[in-house]
Amino acid sequence: MLLIGGGQEFGRRGGTENTPYIVGLGKAAEMAEANLTRNASHMESLRNRLLKNLQLKLGETNVRANGPKDPNQRLPNTLSVGLDRVRSSDLLSSVGHVVAASAGAACHSTGGSISSVLVAMKVPESFARGTLRLSVGPGTTTEDIDEASEILARAARKQWEEGTDTGKLTI
């Protein structure tokens, strides 16, 4: 016997299946599949726009996309980007109430060090400390991207002006 049920079932059934949730999950999967190509294309376009906006606002040499050089090899909905001489944790403290983002790499818990993933990817330290993970979704608009990139760029420029990067800070 793989499952042991409750006393009300005399130990024969492990539980009652949540049929509405199972049907709902099936419908959600069906909808996702039907819109997969269109959504992926939309999100990839927005991800590329976000990167380009940041490069235009902060200077191409100050913004580095982490990951494969070929944008077609990256996830369509996610941008891992390093901002030179920026401390991402401080940046997120100042804009986190208006822009949803994360610092460092997804598999990294912020413990005061640079993510081993970013180190393995050979991301230069000054960019690794300023790495942000930004995601877009099917409902994200170009206006959302333009506003978010302006907010992020403004916060990065403020750090540069204040000189909060000491060259030794880590995320």
Domain locations along the chain? 17-162
Confirm if 92 and 141 have CB atoms less than 8 A apart.
no
Confirm if 145 and 46 have CB atoms less than 8 A apart.
yes
List, in order, residues 6 or more apart from 106 with CB less than 8 Å away.
117, 133
Question: Which CATH number, 3.40.50.300, 3.30.1330.40, 3.90.1150.10, 3.90.1200.10, labels domain 17-162?
Answer: 3.90.1150.10
Residue with tokens 């059934």: 13
pLDDT in tens, the chain (171 residues): 466 666 776 766 667 788 999 999 999 999 989 999 999 999 999 999 999 999 999 999 999 999 998 989 999 999 999 999 999 999 999 998 999 898 876 655 555 678 888 888 899 999 999 999 999 999 999 999 999 999 999 999 999 999 854 444 333
Q: What is the pLDDT of residue 171?
A: 33
Q: Which of 49, 40, 41 is nearest to 147 (CA)?
A: 49
Residue 107: active-site member: yes
Q: What is the pLDDT of residue 14?
A: 67
Q: What is the pLDDT of residue 169?
A: 38
Q: What is the pLDDT of residue 16?
A: 75
Q: Which of 1, 2, 3, 107 is catalytic?
A: 107
pTM listed for this prediction: 0.78
Please count the other Cβ atoms lying within 10 Å of the Cβ belonging to residue 134: 22
Beta pairing partners, 131: 82
